[in-house]
């Protein structure tokens, strides 16, 4: 194991997670983030699961004595997440279609076998796919390599492979995952993203030669699918959900609903109420995740005092109240496009730039609108 993979173990206690915020080194981050051993934060599993928010991370960084230019790149990366979340809010289920233009040059809508089996023949990539299976995390640059090999070299449509990656990621997030795959595949961008062997070697510290990626870029773009990547299959994924009883609730009190995207221990923590981690089989049927991911979610749930885990549908929770009016009054959740069918009140997520909500044609158009607010936060320096 290389040194950096020590970070691929994700503690689940809230104190340990907050401690990790202190390890953020924004200036070093900007210089090294593209290397597999770069100074990245490993916070995405906690941000995606709603344990902490980007806003919380931003506030933490702003409290430290950094110069604005030292933190800008890091904040920009956090803003990518927010941009993708806003894109999802605006598009709804439209996020599952090619967003900007049809992905060019597609030969099938299946999973590439060699990628799923960590046997692409590009050693560094195969090693990182195996790490994904073992640890549930993959470095951002490697995610780009894997998506590029799958969609642009093997010419698979992005949708099925994106579900494969989402299944394994502790930080699996519908917006970041779907938009990023589309971006690499040229469906949410005006061009496709390509990497060659020199690029992979540089950022993964490998020295492999004579592979299907060992070419200049124009040759890569025009290359037929290499034999190693030709085989493809349908994807069958299953979520092993725990079996639970219907939760016991006090109907005179509110019920706070937690889920795979909201595991925030501070949310309404000073209020008396029922707390339910709702794992809807209908959700996981559509968006399957691995046992490793379910175990991670359950472990994060332990930070929430009095949390009852329930594998079942929201409709069963609503029926615990005497009528739909009371259910609508008492059930509270956090807004998320995938849970728009929930009964009850929906509260805003903790946005970094709550004012920037309109659809923007590109990340940089969005970022331009965020800039004045960021200036306010950093004290107009």
C-alpha R_g of the chain:
21
Residue 292 near ligand FAD by CB under 6 A: no
- Kindly identify the residues of this chain, within the stretch 71-110, that bind ligand FAD according to CB under 6 A: 77-78, 80-81, 84
DSSP one-letter string for 27-46 = HHHHHHTTSTTS-----HHH
How many residues contact ligand FAD, by CB under 6 A? 28
Q: Say how far apart CA 343 and CA 320 lie, in whole Å.
A: 12
Give the nearest distance from C-beta 230 to ligand FAD in angstroms.
Answer: 22
Is 172 annotated among the ligand-binding residues? yes
Q: Identify the bridge partners of residue 331 per DSSP, sorted by sequence position.
A: 255
Among 21, 36, 47, 151, binds ligand FAD (CB under 6 A): 47
Alpha-carbon torsion, ordered 122, 110, 192, 215, to 10 deg: 30
Is 166 annotated among the ligand-binding residues? no
Among 17, 21, 30, 40, binds ligand FAD (CB under 6 A): 40
Is 14 annotated among the ligand-binding residues? no
Residue 260 near ligand FAD by CB under 6 A: no
Residue 169 near ligand FAD by CB under 6 A: yes
Question: To which H or E segment does residue 347 belong?
Answer: strand 345-347
Give the nearest distance from C-beta 166 to ligand FAD in angstroms.
Answer: 6
Which residues, at least 6 apart from 76, have a Cβ–Cβ distance to it below 8 Å?
A: 367
Is 81 annotated among the ligand-binding residues? yes
Tokens of residue 165, six digits: 């990656």
Backbone angles phi, psi at 192, to 5 degrees: -85, 155
Stretch that binds ligand FAD, among 12-20, 179-187, 195-203, 357-365 (CB under 6 A): 179-187
Q: Say how far apart CA 291 and CA 128 lie, in whole Å.
A: 19
Is 360 annotated among the ligand-binding residues? no
Stretch that binds ligand FAD, among 115-123, 172-180, 238-246, 321-329 (CB under 6 A): 172-180
Considering beta carbons, is residue 205 or 271 the nearer one to ligand FAD? 205
Residue 112 near ligand FAD by CB under 6 A: no
| CB-count exposure of residue 135 (10 Å: 0-12, 13-18, 19+) | middle
Site track for ligand FAD across 129-148, x = CB under 6 A: -----------x--xx--x-
Considering beta carbons, is residue 74 or 267 the nearer one to ligand FAD? 74
Which residues, at least 6 apart from 217, have a Cβ–Cβ distance to it below 8 Å?
A: 194, 196
User: Shortest CA distance to 311 belongs to which of 350, 352, 348, 282?
Assistant: 282
Q: Which residues are annotated as a binding site?
A: 29, 74, 77-84, 171-173
**Which residues contribute to the site for ligand FAD (CB under 6 A)?**
33, 40-44, 47-48, 77-78, 80-81, 84, 140, 143-144, 147, 165-166, 169, 171-173, 176-177, 180-181, 184
Q: Which residues are annotated as a binding site for FAD?
A: 29, 74, 77-84, 171-173
């Amino acid at each position: 194991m290389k040194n950096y993979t020590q970070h691929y173990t994700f503690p689940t206690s809230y104190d340990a997670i907050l401690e990790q915020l202190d390890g953020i080194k924004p200036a070093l981050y900007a210089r090294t983030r593209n290397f597999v051993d770069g100074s990245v934060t490993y916070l995405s599993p906690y941000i995606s699961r709603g344990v902490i928010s980007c806003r919380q991370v931003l506030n933490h960084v702003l409290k430290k004595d950094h110069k604005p230019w030292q933190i800008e790149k890091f904040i920009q990366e956090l803003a990518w997440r927010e941009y993708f979340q806003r894109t999802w809010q605006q598009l709804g289920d439209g996020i599952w279609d090619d967003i900007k233009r049809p992905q060019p040059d597609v030969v099938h809508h299946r999973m590439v076998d060699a990628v799923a089996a960590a046997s692409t023949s590009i050693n560094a990539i195969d090693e990182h796919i195996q790490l994904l299976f073992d640890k549930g995390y993959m470095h951002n640059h490697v995610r780009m390599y894997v998506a590029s090999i799958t969609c642009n070299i093997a010419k698979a449509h992005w949708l099925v492979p994106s579900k494969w990656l989402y299944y394994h990621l502790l930080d699996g997030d519908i917006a970041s995952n779907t938009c990023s795959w589309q971006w690499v595949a040229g469906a949410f961008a005006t061009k496709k993203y390509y990497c060659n062997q020199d690029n992979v070697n540089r950022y993964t510290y490998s020295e492999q030669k004579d592979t299907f990626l060992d070419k200049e870029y124009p040759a890569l773009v025009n290359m037929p699918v290499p034999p190693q990547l030709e085989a493809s299959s349908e994807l069958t994924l299953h979520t092993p959900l725990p079996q639970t009883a219907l939760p016991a609730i006090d109907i005179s009190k509110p019920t706070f609903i937690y889920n795979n995207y909201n595991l925030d221990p501070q949310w309404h923590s000073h209020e008396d109420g029922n707390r339910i981690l709702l794992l809807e089989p209908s959700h996981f049927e559509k968006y399957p995740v691995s046992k490793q991911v379910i175990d991670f979610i359950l472990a994060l749930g332990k930070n929430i005092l009095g949390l009852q885990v329930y594998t079942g549908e929201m409709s069963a929770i609503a029926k615990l109240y005497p009528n739909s009016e009371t259910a609508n009054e008492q059930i509270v959740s956090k807004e998320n496009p995938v849970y728009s069918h929930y009964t009850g009140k929906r509260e805003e997520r903790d946005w970094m730039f709550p004012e920037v909500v309109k659809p923007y044609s590109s990340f940089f158009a969005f970022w331009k609108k965020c800039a004045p607010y960021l200036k306010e936060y950093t004290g107009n320096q």
